[in-house]
Amino acid sequence: MNNKVKLLTLASLTLAVSFLTVGTVVAQAKLTNQAKLFINGIGTVRVGMTASQATKAAGTQLVGDSPNNSCYYIKPQNEPKNVSFMVTEGRISRVDVRQNTEITTLKGAKIGDTEAQIKSLYPGQIKVTPHKYVQGGHYLTFIPKDRADQNYRVVFETDGKRVTQFRSGKLPEVEFVEGCS
């Protein structure tokens, strides 16, 4: 075998392995119950993406309300359940997690955690305010210290003892108590 054939064979093998690797990475990027929620997104979906960019990033179809409204929600057609994305001005502005005890924040916070657990995961960064609709309940709002993240929050809703749902996203939408209503 001459050197050109060896080089061509090596190049072909390298290219084939690269395609396999890229295919594997894309397959792993799908939004699942193992995705982590953070201040400006979940998994591969980020605040600021359009609905079509978010669908591509999620690796699953996002369906929901008519995009004609100034504020509407979309959610994964299949999994993960009980995760939705608020869309305002044509872009993802917040992520809501309800009744899904598998999804956690980067620090491991999840539905069912106690208020004390949330405060211990985010020491000195939780602002507690009374819940607007749940007697004795609270909003535990994580306020990031990093200047670059000042326009984002994670809001944990509680019944006064445990987290019942949580959301993340940009101000002011992340603090809208009634979502798009």
Please return the burial class of 32, using the count of CB atoms within 10 Å of its CB with bins 0-12, 13-18 and 19+: middle
Q: Which pLDDT does position 105 carry in this prediction?
A: 98
- Residue 36's H or E segment, with its range, is strand 36-38
State the Cα–Cα distance between residues 3 and 152, nearest whole angstrom.
Answer: 57
User: What's at 45, amino acid-wise?
Assistant: V
Q: Which pLDDT does position 5 carry in this prediction?
A: 52
> pLDDT in tens for each of the 181 residues of the chain?
566 555 455 444 444 444 444 444 444 468 999 999 999 999 999 999 999 999 999 999 999 977 777 899 999 999 999 999 999 999 999 999 999 999 999 999 999 999 999 999 999 999 999 999 999 999 999 999 999 999 999 999 999 999 999 999 999 999 999 999 8
Q: Which pLDDT does position 23 carry in this prediction?
A: 43
Q: Give me the count of residues in the chain.
A: 181
Q: Which pLDDT does position 26 carry in this prediction?
A: 43
What is the value of pTM for the model shown?
Answer: 0.83
Q: Which pLDDT does position 67 carry in this prediction?
A: 74
Q: Which pLDDT does position 17 carry in this prediction?
A: 43
Q: Which pLDDT does position 19 carry in this prediction?
A: 45
Which residues make beta-bridge pairs with 142?
A: 126, 154
Beta-strand relationship, 152-158 and 163-170: antiparallel
